[in-house]
Amino acid sequence: MTNILHVSASIRGDESVSRKLGNRLVEKLATASEATIVTRDLAANDLPLIDADRFAANLTPHEERDDNQQALAGIADTLIGELQAADTLVLSLPVYNFTMPSTLKAWADLVARAGTTFRYTEQGPEGLLTGKKVYVVIASGGTPMGSEIDFLTPWLRHFLGFLGMTDVEMVAADGIMGIDGEEKIEAASQAIEALTPDKLAA
């Protein structure tokens, strides 16, 4: 049994290219092996930004929190639980202003918890979310992935690796606002269809 967590961030609903491609990838993953699927639509959830009180609550052990801290830390507990339970993580992401949607940054700030998803050691930080396969599906209107104006993918690889997730595969439909946009979307779709069972999460 595979547990798939699908996190999407586009504000464009069913019109979103990243969401459509991500949904197709999740369908393919679920077909390859019996799976449970948890979907987290960041655009449909008003994730809170980290402030001093929420930061302190998130770092306070569960059994030591007061009622207010339990309420403040509740959403982070839920998001972290989803991530811990997943064998496979699928991120469906648009590029907004050369980088990530603000909702993804809010999600990242909530799931990065010292002592839970990573820890500090004498050798430096150690990610605790190991053994997971990550697929990232990206749609960009005009920012080429891997270019000098792509500030999303380097940050994303570093952040995922910081939490222990180093097996990351990316599929990009970038530059889709150009005259060959449809061809680039089709190429990304074909890249997803070309994934073979041995390249999919077991």
Q: For residues 127 and 82, is the Cβ–Cβ distance under 8 A?
A: no
pLDDT at 184: 84
- How would you classify the pairing of strands 118-121 and 124-127? antiparallel
Structural domain count, the chain:
1
> What would the pLDDT profile of 20-41 be if each residue is shown by its tens digit?
999 999 999 998 778 899 999 9
User: Which CATH number belongs to the domain containing residue 115 in this structure?
Assistant: 3.40.50.360
pLDDT of 16 over the 80 cut: yes
User: How far apart, in whole angstroms, are the C-alpha atoms of residue 167 and residue 120?
Assistant: 21
Contacts of 166 (CB under 8 A, 6+ apart): 127, 160
Q: 166 is in which domain, residue-wise?
A: 2-199
Q: Is residue 78 within 8 Å of 113, Cβ to Cβ?
A: no
Q: Which of 6-10, 25-29, 44-48, 110-114 has the lowest mean pLDDT?
A: 44-48
Task: Name the H helices within the chain.
Answer: 17-32, 52-59, 67-85, 102-111, 153-162, 181-193
| pLDDT score of 142 | 86
**DSSP state, residue 41:** E
pLDDT band at 179 (very low <50, low <70, confident <90, very high): confident
Residue 113 pLDDT grade (very low, low, confident, very high; cuts 50, 70, 90): very high
The mean per-residue pLDDT over the stretch 61-84 comes to: 95
